[in-house]
Amino acid sequence: MTKIGNLPTPLQKKLPPRSVERLSKYRRLLSTINTGNGEYIFSHNLAQLLNLTPEQVRRDLMLIGLTGSRRKGYSIKALVELIGKTIDKEEGYNVAIVGIGNLGRAITAFIRKARTRLNIVAAFDVDANKVNKETAGVPCYDINQIPLVVGKLKISIAILTVPSDVVKEITTTLISNGIKGILNFTSVHLDVPPDVYLKDYDIITSLEEIGFFIKK
């Protein structure tokens, strides 16, 4: 489930969350493939690689103002640059991961290796054995330091990988200290203010969905 807060620009209001999600996938894919068409790619090629329809790809790209050539397709360079201007923030986003257990460590390492403007600059935990140490180059702070560290490091996004019984309390603390975006890896339903963007990622629900569609 995704909740949309108060989005400040006309383009943000025009772009559905699923389109933003696909735009991110288009850019990551285009940085890794050889299209066989030089510096261009057709919508049907991009669609096939991501199990989408060409019409869906064209609609997404039209939403950000990009049109292709019938003869050549879309300029890969122009496409990547325009997606970046659309979904990125020039100076990037500082991110904190709250809960640095196995899942938290795996997410931290993955994001740190990715080419992205998402900068994980802090982790928080209650375990004294993790505090004041680093994971994938990210320092871990005591959970009680959230008010100090979030402001000092200008953190605007938090990733939650904490136990279910504390997630609501931690979310309240994060929001009251300036967090505007949350990726929730717990199964707990969270209510957030309208100016906070919440994205839930429930692993169990995703696996059960897969199980439903492969059962015989």
CATH code, domain carrying 178: 3.40.50.720
Helices (H), 50-191: 54-63, 76-87, 102-113, 146-152, 167-176
Beta-bridge partners for 98 = 124, 160
CA distance 208 to 206: 5
How many structural domains does the chain have? 2
Residues 61 and 100 in one domain: no
Residues 105 and 197 in one domain: yes
Contact 130, 122 (CB under 8 A): no
Domain boundary among 86, 110, 143: 86
Residue 182 domain flag: yes
CA distance 192 to 168: 10
Residues 64 and 102 in one domain: no
Residues 200 and 103 in one domain: yes
| Nearest CA among 201, 200, 205, 198 for reference residue 179 | 198
The predicted model scores a pTM of: 0.79
pLDDT of residue 34: 56
CA distance 119 to 126: 22
Q: Which domain holds residue 179?
A: 93-206
The pLDDT averaged over each successive group of 10 residues in the chain (216 residues) is: 41 76 91 68 92 93 85 88 88 94 93 86 96 93 97 96 95 97 94 94 86 85
pLDDT of residue 91: 84
CA distance 187 to 207: 13
